Structure 1
């Protein structure tokens, strides 16, 4: 024995972690595994929480193929619904895959009404058919059965957007988010418009929005004034200076999902003549593990 042991050593006093009367959790906190452990430690077996919202995701179009069969003339692989189901889940909601509805107004109306009644959806997300002036069965049906607003948002990509409500059989107004059909536009409009709304429905408060930080653009960005804020897809990483740096992906068209898939952030490029390398920019992180990667 090399040293004496004072009385009380290695004894954890009752209340040293959580004192009587202390506030343990507050409204708006997400119930993480650690929070569950804390609740268990104080014998809080029942707590009032916001439920995960159930979000129906739907794609429409005779041209969409998702069964692996060879493509015919005018057909494309379905990708938006596949992507949206996953990012709805990553937002903390429960995604309900409503499949592909062919170009038939009666079938689409039946599917939508079923989703908000027997399907139990708390919200609906569609992609395509929201551009001004275009005829699409989504616009035709929703304009008839729901209270919709078809708008143009001053941003690029994802300028067209629709929002409205569809009443379910018990009188509850179910929100509908109409996203553009181009894959990148669909992603950006979900991230910036639909995702915060869905997370607000689940009580996330300020955390409903993706984290934003100031970063340094390592690339010059050329653009022309057009009255819109551009959201370019970039890769963010920690620099040797301790700042977040972003490199811009070269392919920025709204159909180029492959390049977007390897980006981890959106960079805000204000209306004007662009950026010079070294400029400070506002960056919104993407993905389940949102944040910059390690320095190269």
Structure 2
């Protein structure tokens, strides 16, 4: 059954009555999206799973990690040089008339990855960077400070070292980075390369993380056809599913199911209920079918649900849906691809960061426009742009269908409400997408 148009002058089923104060502001809608997710995750804490460290990039630690051992695990040399016993140098330094160097017998070399024999008094042991410091040694003299300033091929002869070497010089003490049992990373840490490197250095090959937010993604429209299939009259290929699915996955979410639904409110709500029962998502996200037209399948299909369909003072991306469906958080984005992407970047991505800890926040930086921009009155306009070294070039026009311009961009340019004209050279805030 196809959607029937609403009678003239009567709001479509499920629609919100227009506010007397006008459209919702961007910041207020962002707060509403964050509050929706925060309420859900407070009542439904994410499950935990233990995964290989190699698969943990972008995940969130579910529990505090304490160091299972010392790091470094043994006292070692910070550089190539000679391991010495500083009292040997001090005795020579305090002897009247002694020059500024001390000559010591060369002991057997100590390569990295080998146990070191004790250092005998009056000797210096060639030691490599990272190699274990021998018992009896308490300092390292860099090879370039010695005479000769290179290692001899055999452990024989003598080497002259400066007499003023203090104890502890160029020595990495066991546990000096982190001691055994010490907190290494707190619960809630977003795992990037630096954090994963620490866990690997501690010898951990598996880690317990929070389960990803689970998203049910639906695209609507009789005119929308999957890529790879031929187009009929008036049809277009579906870009939204790919655009939103890849954006969600990049943001650390798990997309449980993505599909295109025809313009039938009955089919939409039936399929949605079946998917909710089968997949138990944390969020339902739709694109299309939420505007004020006569054939708006999402708006009409969710007439009995706790969902508001409203206008946000933003271009593109003004129409928005927010609420719950069968108790599960719901967001409805407009059907134009650029509008969907802008809605994701302006509302959902920052809410996921604030509530779950992932993904990393997008960087916002000031930039100078390379060309003038105009913006409609009363709207927060978001334009595509190409950011380079403090400047941003607008790419394409304001149209929400310009996918090629979107693909050529690496930033979103914000023109806030109240600013209708910006000259070239004006400073704007840009959201970096890379």
Taking the aligned partners of 2:367 and 2:423, their CA distance within structure 1 comes to 13
- Change in CA separation of 1:253 and 1:43 when aligned onto 2, cut-off 3 Å: same
5+ long unaligned stretches in structure 1: 168-172, 239-243, 291-296
Relative to 1, partners in 2 of residues 1:150 and 1:113: Cα closer, same or farther, differing over 3 Å?
same
Q: Deviation at 1:43?
A: 6.4
Matched residue, 1:294: none
Q: Does 1:283 align with 2:430?
A: yes
Distance 1:203 1:4 in 2: 47
- TM-superposition CA deviations, 1:109-164 (whole Å, max 9, x none): 222112222113211110011113543121111222x2101111111111111111
| Alpha-carbon distance between aligned partners in 2 of 1:3 and 1:152, rounded to the nearest angstrom | 70
Aligned-partner Cα distance in 2 for 1:179–1:162: 7
Hey, what's the Cα distance between the residues in 2 that align with 1:98 and 1:250?
A: 29
Task: Give the match for residue 165 of structure 1.
Answer: 324
Separation in 2 of the partners of 1:23 and 1:96?
A: 35
**Residue in 2 that maps onto 1:233:** 384
Does structure 2 retain, via aligned residues, the 8 Å contact 1:230–1:269? yes
Pair 1:17 & 2:170 matched: no
The structural deviation recorded for 1:45 is 7.8
The Cα shift of 1:281 comes to 0.9
SS in 2 for 1:284: strand
Aligned to 2:394: 248
Q: 1:209 to 1:11 in 2, by over 3 A?
A: closer
Q: Distance in 2 between matches of 1:283 and 1:3?
A: 50
Counterpart-to-counterpart distance in 1, 2:355 and 2:303: 24
Higher mean displacement: 40-49 or 120-129: 40-49
Q: How does 1:104-253 map to 2 (within 5 A)?
A: 104-144=264-304, 146-167=305-326, 173-204=327-358, 209-224=361-376, 226-238=377-389, 244-253=390-399
User: Structure 2-normalised TM-score?
Assistant: 0.58
What does residue 146 of structure 2 align with?
A: none
The 1-side partners of 2:360 and 2:192 are apart by: 16
Following TM superposition, by how much is the alpha carbon of 1:67 offset from its aligned partner in structure 2, in angstroms? 5.2
Q: d(CA) in 2 for partners of 1:3 and 1:50?
A: 46
Structure 1 distance, partners of 2:405, 2:318, is 20
Q: Tell me which of the two structures has the higher relative contact order, counting C-alpha pairs closer than 8 angstroms and 6 or more residues apart.
A: 2
Give how far 1:180 is off: 0.4
Cα distance in 2, alignment partners of residues 148 and 267 from structure 1: 30
Partner secondary structure for residue 351 of structure 2? helix
Q: Does 1:264 align with 2:342?
A: no
Q: State yes or no: 1:53 paired with 2:131.
A: no
Measured against aligned partners, the alpha-carbon deviations of 1:61-119 in whole angstroms (never above 9, x if no partner) come to 22221152322112111111121111111111112332111223332222211222211
Q: 1:246 to 1:42 in 2, by over 3 A?
A: same
Which stretches in structure 2 are left out of the alignment for 5+ residues? Answer: 1-79, 85-136, 141-169
CA distance in 2: counterparts of 1:134 and 1:24, whole angstroms: 57
1:31/1:72 CA distance change after superposition, 3 Å: same
C-alpha contact 1:184 1:256 (8 A) present in aligned 2: yes
Q: What is the TM-score normalised by the length of structure 1?
A: 0.82
1:201–1:222 CA distance, 2 compared to 1 (3 A): closer
Contact 1:92 1:199 in 2 (8 A): no
- Give per-residue Cα distances to partners, 1:1-43, cap 9 Å, x unaligned: x974322447642111114665422344212344234235446
| Residue 5 (str. 1) matches residue 79 (str. 2) | no
